[in-house]
């Protein structure tokens, strides 16, 4: 089987080389023009049944390898792969772009120097004592410019030859690396390393990246949700990645398979935690007199559960009734009375659902997200990444009291409101219970606080050590059925989290 797979890889490489040569031959024979195609890419897409973007990539690769006979031969022989060839073309395109940018910079400098000489010549001729002197200065200036033009042409020719030599040397080095067994990713890394040796080219690339930086939004064609596209500079990419890495958490090992997040979902949650932390830090500028926040307008009946009318976000998005009720679990509420035409009649005082003292009490009790992912094992994501959830929902007249509030991270808050999990909380015993019935199977899990508080052990253990002497003993008591949790060594949240409600960055 290994021989079969290797043989198929060689066949694929040979077919790729044949296709690329066919694209070049068709272009040289003007077949797209004969058939009335708008472009070579459009002709290839029609003939081979490809999408426009795929056809464009094929044409780009074929054109990039026109003068690379050795690379095409190695591709056809199966020594290198299509991805190797694409890496060679990408490296050549970047190098050509660097050379073009350098040529534009030299041309701009020469234009500035020529303009300065012209102004100096005009001033000298204006100051000439006689017409004869003025004519002599004009002839000398013209002769000088002709000589400078010849020198520029010679330098341009020499630079073009040097660029061709540099391009060939780089391509030969990269091709040799690929032939010797380097992976396509390694070839690209080698190309970037070679490019990094040109500091001036890097500075021009930075300027080009800054000119192209952008954030755009578009609706998803299937779900209608917003898709954000971010074009980052290299430095900003490093910054964002470092923030996401700091906020990123894996699901604990004993998380049930149905509750596990994909890698993309974990990055999404980390990104939103970064944004939330920035908004909640209180250091951003105000907008229309208020700090940045999410505003959703809903009928009171939706909040109380008497109606299922969607809310409207401040930027025009439609928010489902259940999502609105989840957001309202830990939000400031403002009463607005409007007439039948939507005209505001009265705007009441903004009230906060949970007080600062209640948030502090929840932080001390739970230490993080309290959702049980297994018996005696809470999720434990840091308290700064959680909301206080009304155990008895607002729609059921649930009070905003400590015995009705449980800290939940965004992921598990969504699970309670949207995925069928029923959550209960008994304050005297500190017991949080979740239950869900799906596919005829009922799952029940419990945790007990503060015993299961993931950030309780370090502080209390240090206090116990300072206040007692003699042999060390466990904090567990005989009536604590959860003393087999494994202590600080058990899988769970990052122990380096400061526990102060802010991201650990």
| Of 196 and 100, more confident | 100
The answer to whether position 130 is within a domain reads yes
pLDDT of residue 479: 35
Rounded mean pLDDT of 320-342? 71
Listed residues 17, 45, 76: the one ending a domain: 76
Q: Residues 425-461: pLDDT tens digits?
A: 998 888 999 999 887 889 999 999 988 887 764 444 4
- Per DSSP, what are the bridge partners of residue 229? 216
Residues 96 and 205 in one domain: yes
Residue 303 lies inside a defined structural domain of this protein: no
- Structure token pair of residue 178: 């690929």
Mean pLDDT of the chain: 80
Q: Would the pTM count as exceeding 0.75?
A: no
pLDDT of residue 40: 92
Whether 186 and 89 map to the same domain: the answer is yes
CA dihedral 63, 65, 69, 75 (to 10 degrees): -130
Say if residue 131 is in the same domain as residue 92. Answer: yes
What confidence category does residue 330 fall into, taking pLDDT thresholds of 50, 70 and 90? low
Do 108 and 187 fall within a single domain? yes
Assigned domain for 310 exists: no
Whole-angstrom distance, CA of residue 71 vs CA of residue 66: 10
For the residues 63-75, what does the mean pLDDT come to?
87
Question: Given 76, 102, 121, which residue is the final one in a domain?
Answer: 76
Please indicate, yes or no, if residue 152 is contained in any of the structural domains: yes
Q: Are residues 136 and 43 in the same domain?
A: no
> Residue 406: is its pLDDT beyond 90?
yes
Residue 126 in domain: yes
d(CA 167, CA 212): 26
Does 284 reside within a domain?
Answer: no
Asked if residue 227 belongs to a domain, the reply is yes
pLDDT: which is higher, 201 or 158:
158
In tens, the pLDDT along 9-42 reads 888 888 888 999 999 899 999 999 888 888 999 9
Question: Are 90 and 206 in the same domain?
Answer: yes
Q: How far apart are CA 404 and CA 393, in angstroms?
A: 9
Q: Which residues of 260-298 are buried (b: 16+ CB within 10 A; e: fewer)?
A: eeeeeebbebbbebbebbeebeeeeeeeeeeeeeeebeb
- Same domain for 194 and 182, yes or no, is yes
276 part of a folded domain: no
pLDDT tens digit sequence for 80-90:
998 999 999 99
Which pLDDT score is estimated for 289?
52
pLDDT of residue 494: 39
Find the range with the poorest average confidence among 44-53, 86-95, 174-183, 319-328.
319-328
Residues 218 and 202 in one domain: no
Residue 470 has pLDDT above 70, yes or no: no
Q: Is residue 118 located within the same domain as residue 136?
A: yes
Domain with 40 in it? 2-76
Query: Does residue 186 share a domain with residue 87?
Result: yes
Domain end position, chosen among 20, 43, 76: 76
Report pLDDT digits (tens) over 270-315.
998 888 888 777 666 655 455 667 778 878 787 777 888 888 877 7
The Cα 449–Cα 464 span in angstroms is 19
- Number of structural domains, the chain? 3
């Amino acid at each position: 089987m290994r021989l079969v797979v290797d043989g198929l890889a060689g066949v694929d490489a040979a077919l790729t080389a044949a296709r690329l040569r066919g694209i070049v031959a068709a272009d040289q024979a003007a077949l797209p023009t004969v058939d009335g195609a708008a472009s070579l890419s459009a002709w290839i897409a029609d003939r081979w049944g490809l999408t426009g973007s795929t056809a464009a990539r094929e044409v780009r690769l074929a054109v990039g390898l026109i003068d690379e006979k050795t690379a095409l031969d190695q591709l056809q022989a199966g020594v290198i792969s299509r991805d190797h060839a694409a890496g060679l073309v990408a490296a050549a395109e970047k190098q050509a772009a660097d050379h073009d940018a350098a040529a534009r910079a030299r041309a701009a400098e020469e234009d500035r120097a020529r303009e300065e000489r012209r102004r100096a010549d005009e001033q000298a001729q204006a100051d000439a004592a006689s017409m004869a002197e003025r004519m002599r200065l004009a002839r000398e200036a013209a002769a000088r410019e002709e000589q400078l033009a010849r020198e520029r042409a010679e330098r341009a020719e020499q630079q073009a030859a040097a660029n061709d030599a540099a391009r060939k040397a780089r391509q030969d080095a990269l091709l040799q690396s690929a032939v010797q067994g380097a992976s396509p990713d390694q070839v690209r890394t080698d190309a970037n390393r070679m490019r990094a040796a040109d500091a001036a080219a890097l500075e021009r690339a930075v300027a080009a990246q800054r000119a192209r930086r952008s954030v755009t939004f578009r609706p998803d064609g299937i779900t209608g949700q917003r898709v954000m596209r971010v074009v980052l500079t290299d430095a900003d990419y490093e910054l964002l990645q470092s923030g996401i890495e700091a906020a990123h958490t894996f699901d604990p090992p004993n998380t049930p398979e149905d509750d596990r997040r994909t890698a993309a979902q974990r990055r999404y949650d980390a990104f939103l935690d970064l944004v939330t932390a920035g908004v909640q830090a209180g250091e951003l500028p105000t907008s229309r007199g208020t700090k940045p926040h999410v505003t959703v307008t809903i009928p009171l009946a939706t909040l109380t559960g008497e109606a299922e009318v969607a809310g409207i976000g401040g930027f025009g998005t439609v928010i489902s009734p259940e999502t609105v009720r989840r957001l309202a679990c830990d939000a400031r509420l403002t009463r607005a009375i409007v007439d039948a035409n939507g005209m505001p009649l009265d705007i009441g005082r903004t009230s906060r659902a949970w007080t600062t003292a209640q948030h502090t009490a929840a932080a001390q009790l739970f230490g993080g997200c309290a959702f049980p992912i297994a018996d005696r094992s809470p999720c434990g994501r840091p308290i700064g990444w959680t909301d206080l959830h009304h155990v008895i929902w607002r729609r059921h007249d649930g009070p905003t009291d400590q015995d009705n509030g449980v800290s939940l991270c965004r992921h598990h808050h969504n699970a309670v409101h949207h995925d069928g999990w029923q959550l209960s909380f008994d304050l005297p015993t500190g017991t949080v219970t979740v239950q869900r019935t799906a596919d005829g199977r009922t799952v029940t899990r419990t945790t007990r606080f503060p015993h299961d508080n993931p950030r309780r052990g370090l502080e209390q253990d240090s206090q116990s050590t300072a206040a007692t002497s003699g042999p060390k003993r466990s904090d567990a008591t005989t009536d604590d059925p959860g003393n087999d949790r494994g202590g600080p060594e058990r899988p769970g949240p990052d122990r380096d989290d400061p526990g102060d409600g802010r991201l650990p960055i």
